[in-house]
Amino acid sequence: MQRCPSCNSSSTKTLPMIYGSGSSTSSSIWVTSRGRVGTRGGSRQTRLAAAAAPPRAPSLVLGFHGMLAVSAVVWILLANLIAPIAHAIPNTKQASLFQTVAPPLMLGVIVIIFLGWVLRHRAKKKRYLPRFAAWEQTWMCQKCGTTWM
């Protein structure tokens, strides 16, 4: 146990201890007199525990959904541009070649978007890990509210 550098109190805890002691989850299952089964779950958290919460990890699922949405919009935009661009090309051979080459290029754009998403997620994870490690080592005084590492 460490002493507070501000008020010298011995009433100190780490942020993970504060978060864990002020957060709880519960679940229950019951059967009614008619034979129906019911379930309920919930969680409770003190304000102090909410304030001492760990940094939020980057969401792989939400990022993937965002990447899919961006890919769909880009695909639709590019698909709708192929015909007008092909009609604007005066040479029919070049227009035909453009219409042949455009779909693989569209697929290449989607692959680039996917690789961008992978790199972005890795960068977010790289920023998250040191913040989480710092959170695990941070202490808080229960008397004056000072935090330190």
Q: Where are the domains of the chain?
A: 12-55+138-148, 60-134
Contacts (Cβ under 8 Å, ≥6 apart) of 64: 117
Instruction: Summarize pLDDT for 62-81 with one digit per residue, the tens.
Output: 999 999 999 999 999 999 99
Q: What pLDDT is stored for residue 35 in this prediction?
A: 86
In this model, does residue 56 exceed pLDDT 80?
yes
Q: What pLDDT is stored for residue 26 in this prediction?
A: 82
Distance CA 110, CA 68 (A): 9
Instruction: Quickly count helices (H) and strands (E) in the chain.
Output: 4, 5
Q: What share of the chain is helix, strand, coil (3-state, %, to 5)?
A: 60, 15, 25
Mean pLDDT score, 17-25: 87
What does pLDDT average to over the chain?
92
Q: What pLDDT is stored for residue 55 in this prediction?
A: 96
Q: Is the pTM of this model over 0.85?
A: no
> pLDDT class for 30, splitting at 50, 70, 90?
confident
Least confident of 22-31, 45-54, 120-129, 136-145: 22-31
Mean pLDDT score, 45-59: 92
